[in-house]
Amino acid sequence: MRKYIDIIKGFLLLTLVIFLFAFSSQRNAQLPIQNTHIEFVGEDHLLITKDMVNKLLIQNQQAVECMTKDILDLNVLETKISSHPMIEKAEVYLTVNGEIRVKVAQRTPLARVISEPSFYIDNQGEMMPLSAEYSARVVLVHGNVDAKNIDRIHRLLKHVDQDEFLKLYVTEIIVDEQ
């Protein structure tokens, strides 16, 4: 008889735990998002502002704070933010208390190419548009810069950036046919 009472108690306890888990997870999914917190990773974040990231967070013409947790797709938000030309990487996650946290790593320009149109070359060797917010103090590159020679220019820029002496005194690079 004692064995059956223990089995019934165990079954009831297991049922109670499953019920409480289902209730709390459904209630947690229905909670609205309370706040957004944007954090910039790295040394400076002058090329992009928090307002720009907030605009990227708006999904389907609806503010993120108006959504519930179960509707929000964090992968879509992360992809939207990472697709911005000034952003290298973004992480979007939810906290337990209903706050969206966004960690943004900005791309780092190494040089500014003076051409039509002007652009930056970042530390990965990719072309990056100019920012309306800030003009980075980097090496200026003049001349014939195209997709063929951008890799060679990037290697030169990385070498200049890693050498303390050259970093102080090289301010301009002129590219010619050779």
pLDDT in tens, 84-143: 888 888 898 888 777 888 899 888 888 888 888 888 888 888 888 888 878 888 888 888
pTM comes to: 0.69
**Polymer length of the chain:** 178
**Coil vs helix vs strand at 46:** coil
Tens-digit pLDDT profile for residues 31-70: 777 778 888 887 777 778 888 887 877 755 556 666 666 6
Positive or negative torsion for Cα 61, 38, 82, 69: negative
97 vs 35: CA distance, rounded Å: 9
**Coil vs helix vs strand at 50:** helix
**Coil vs helix vs strand at 123:** coil
141 vs 147: CA distance, rounded Å: 14
Confidence of residue 75 (pLDDT cuts 50, 70, 90): confident
